[in-house]
Amino acid sequence: MTAIEDRFANMALWIDEACALLDARGVVVAANDKMFALLGQQIANYPMERFIRHEDFVETLRAARDQAMVSELTYFRTDKLRREFQLRVAPFEETHVLVVILDNTDTVSVDRIRSDFVANVSHELRSPLSALSGFIETLKEGAGESPETREKFLAIMQSEAERMQRLIDDLLSLSRVEAIEHRTPNDQVALYAIVEQTVEALSAQSQAKQMSFQWQLHDNLSADQLNVFGKADELRQVFQNLIENAIRYGDTGSQIDLAFRLDETTAQNLLCVDVVNQGPTIDPQDIARLTERFYRIDAGRARQMGGTGLGLAIVKHIVNRHLGRLRITSAAGKTSFCVSLRRDS
């Protein structure tokens, strides 16, 4: 280790951000663990411009090296998720350049989520609030004197209030998971038990529609092998939303298939859970939009069944946070939701 690299190493101990030391050619000669975690171990001994896709990055390095100029750049990385970073570039002694990368994703996400939340709440709550106001006004004008009318209106008002509560709960859930979507959870989770508990919790709903469940384990898997990396509470919400959807939109008296198998569409070690219901076939153009917030194929029917239009959006963001995959297919009266998650084995 050279004297300059040694001084960088001592300084890096006091920096709580990703940082790297570049020589006069822009080659990474040293970096801390956070920089390697962000850009990968392959950056060592290679020009950093190969790994930072920004049109002004090379010129910024030159300015730091030749003119002792300190500069900042806004830098975006997009894999499954869009992340925003701030690059700070400064001269380090006579010949080297220091690069520090700050992750601004949390701050940007919170601001955007706050704005989206206010816009969504104001738009989606307008209809039930108008309905409640109308019924209250009608009751005040004398309709409440009739016991039958009063009971009818009160039942509708209760339904609208419950709809608002579900909407607010789902918006809060969506906002929470979006705020931390770029942080990958790595707890060990027994997936079979989570799905089993979810089915039990929704048994009253499935029994009300005379629906049954068919469990299938493929690829010689057993229940104790169905462990994945993730967050148990969030994965429970994923399968609650999917199974609840299967019950809500499946045909009365039909069967819901729950299949566990290895995902062979990728080289990754992924476990796939298929939730398959029997009901109306979904058109391909609708499938492409199902995970959009508030998108409903039949808005009136969805509201009548208690849907908020946010369930699948929540599923998508949780699966993204888990570095998983969500695939939706529909044909011949069957709709399948396949969730693939990183297998712990």
| Mean pLDDT of the 210-223 span | 92
| pLDDT confidence of residue 103 | 84
Phi first, then psi: give them for residue 178, nearest 5 degrees.
-65, -35
- Across-strand partners of 76? 84
pLDDT at 117 over 70: no
Q: List the single range of 76-90, 91-105, 189-203, 314-328 with lowest mean pLDDT.
A: 76-90
Helix (H, G, I), strand (E, B) or coil at 140: helix
Q: Are 341 and 205 in contact (CB under 8 A)?
A: no
Both tokens of residue 74? 């806004």
| pLDDT confidence of residue 163 | 79
For 48, 82, 94, 276, 333, the CA distances from 329, given in Å and listed in that order, are: 42, 26, 60, 9, 11
Count other Cβ atoms within 10 Å, centred on residue 241: 22
- Of 63, 71, 104, 70, nearest to 86 by C-alpha is 104
| pLDDT confidence of residue 143 | 65
Q: Are residues 288 and 331 in the same domain?
A: yes
| pLDDT confidence of residue 6 | 87
CATH label of the domain that carries residue 298: 3.30.565.10
pLDDT at 51 over 70: yes
| pLDDT confidence of residue 272 | 94
Both tokens of residue 81? 């998720």
| pLDDT confidence of residue 256 | 96
**What does the mean pLDDT of the chain come to?**
85
pLDDT at 119 over 70: no
Q: Are residues 140 and 42 in the same domain?
A: no
Residue 111 lies in a domain: no
- Which 8-state DSSP code applies to residue 343? B
pLDDT at 215 over 60: yes
Residue 109 lies in a domain: no
Range of the domain at 156: 116-183
SS3 content of the chain, % helix, strand, coil (to 5): 50, 25, 30
Q: List the single range of 202-206, 241-245, 302-306 with lowest mean pLDDT.
A: 302-306
| pLDDT confidence of residue 244 | 93
Number of independent structural domains in the chain? 3
Q: Are 168 and 129 in contact (CB under 8 A)?
A: no
Q: Are residues 331 and 210 in the same domain?
A: yes
Distance from C-alpha of 232 to C-alpha of 134, rounded to nearest angstrom: 42
Distance from C-alpha of 161 to C-alpha of 167, rounded to nearest angstrom: 10
Q: Considering the entire predicted model, what is its pTM?
A: 0.63
Q: Are residues 195 and 343 in the same domain?
A: yes
